[in-house]
Chain A
Amino acid sequence: RKEVEQDPGPFNVPEGATVAFNCTYSNSASQSFFWYRQDCRKEPKLLMSVYSSGNEDGRFTAQLNRASQYISLLIRDSKLSDSATYLCVVNMDSSYKLIFGSGTRLLVRP
């Protein structure tokens, strides 16, 4: 079983739609969780951290369910510029090592 699993997609949605991605992780001792965004042929960039209480940044909402070991990302009012691959990232022991999921591809169409 992979340490971090994501549905590869693609999720193809119209502008203005709400879309949600889930990610599951295998290690119950995992400490920190993040969503990174990667545009085509570009480097990954931190989108947001995921806190136990859930957190929101504009149109983006991230949630953590430790009991079920999954993380979610909700994007409201999708924009064309949201088209990218979203990487679920887990840190196992609060040190340096990040485990990246293989990513979920989002395509927002006009």
Chain B
Amino acid sequence: DAGVIQSPRHEVTEMGQEVTLRCKPISGHNSLFWYRQTMMRGLELLIYFNNNVPIDDSGMPEDRFSAKMPNASFSTLKIQPSEPRDSAVYFCASSFGLAADTQYFGPGTRLTVL
């Protein structure tokens, strides 16, 4: 079975540019999470969707960040405009139901903003 799929795997962009990260959750999973991981702050939850509806976006750092989930098999995380401090690894994870112990992570997108 395919796991969580993320694209691109690596992204290098210049400050001020728009960045769009993509995620395809595991088929049948109805919860989707976007995380950010940095050396300084570790793994942080940015936003959580359940049945395609954003439930908790309290972790989204600021208005430059937005996330959508138009259907059960696709989600995007957009940063506009990007800044160097956004450089991090962004993970998408999915799970079935509300059980917290079954989150499956994608391989991540390593973002570098110059």
Contacts and interface: CB of A to CB of B under 8 A. Distances in A.
Contacts of A49: 101
24 contacts: A42-B108, A43-B105, A43-B107, A43-B108, A45-B105, A46-B101, A46-B103, A49-B101, A87-B43, A91-B100, A96-B31, A96-B33, A96-B48, A96-B56, A96-B100, A97-B45, A97-B48, A97-B56, A97-B100, A98-B45, A98-B100, A100-B42, A101-B42, A103-B42
A44 B100 contact: no
Contacts of A44: 43, 91, 105
A102 B38 CA distance: 10
A69 B76 CA distance: 37
Interface in A59-110: 87, 91, 94-98, 100-103
Interface of A: 32, 34, 42-46, 49, 87, 91, 94-98, 100-103
B45 A95 contact: no
Nearest to B107: A43
Nearest to A34: B101
Contacts of B114: none
B35 to A, nearest CB: 8
B30 to A, nearest CB: 11
Contacts of A102: 42
A56 B77 CA distance: 38
Interface pairs A-B: 3 shortest CB-CB: A43-B105, A91-B100, A100-B43
